[in-house]
Chains A and B, each alone.
Chain A
Amino acid sequence: DAMVIQNPRYQVTQFGKPVTLSCSQTLNHNVMYWYQQKSSQAPKLLFHYYDKDFNNEADTPDNFQSRRPNTSFCFLDIRSPGLGDAAMYLCATSSKGQGSGYEQYFGPGTRLTVT
């Protein structure tokens, strides 16, 4: 089945130690998103890629970076994690273009713990 995969599902890192979360998709969607979700709150969009074009949300801290080396993969890099960055990180994809339904498809998430 076509899907969005996130690895690892659980990640523990130390305060200030860089960490990378990964996302892959078999849906062949041209848009990929990264969200941060805390404590059953609404997901907060960090940034998205439309093909190779990177779009950062205005309030996303510089500590968060992303890479999309190809259509299938997207990475979230947290350069110096703080305790406040502990959260669930969700990757999502959508298809932009004629006939797009605009819905986003989410991966299972990576729960990040910062010690």
Chain B
Amino acid sequence: AQSVAQPEDQVNVAEGNPLTVKCTYSVSGNPYLFWYVQYPNRGLQFLLKYITGDNLVKGSYGFEAEFNKSQTSFHLKKPSALVSDSALYFCAVRDTAGFQKLVFGTGTRLLVSP
């Protein structure tokens, strides 16, 4: 079965510093990987995806993610964090055994301090 792991429950970073939110995956075949962000009392917002092509994927709000096949990772990055980036971030993988189902990680809370 496809799965993703987010090893950190929380990531703390100072505003202006680079941020990384980690995600590793386990899939059979080619992975379809996604990042979503969730602000308090809101739904999930799609940030970016990797299906094929360049290993560095650029998404919304200045976020990018690097696909690394050898390390089976898909870490989310941003060069300069904003306080407004503080939110819950979910990594997800498309379940090839199911109908386009997304399998979500457990989420990582990002806290950006002023």
Q: Which residues of A contact B90 (CB under 8 A)?
A: 42-43
Residue in B43, B94, B109 whose CB lies within 8 Å of A106: B43
Alpha-carbon distance between A96 and B51 when the two chains are bound, in angstroms = 15
The bracket for how many chain B residues form the interface is: 20 to 34
Q: Which residues of B contact A115 (CB under 8 A)?
A: none
**Residues in chain B within 8 A of chain A (CB atoms):** 32, 34, 36, 41-46, 49, 51, 88, 90, 94, 99-102, 104-107, 109
Interface stretch of the complex, out of A61-69, A70-78, A97-105 = A97-105
Alpha-carbon distance between A50 and B98 when the two chains are bound, in angstroms = 13
Q: Is A90 an interface residue (CB 8 A)?
A: yes
Pairwise interchain contact B101-A41, C-beta atoms closer than 8 A: no
Q: Which residues of A contact B51 (CB under 8 A)?
A: 101-102
Chain A: minimal CB distance from B59 (Å): 11
Query: What 0/1 pattern do residues 84 to 113 of A give for CB contact below 8 A with B?
Result: 000010111010100011111111110100
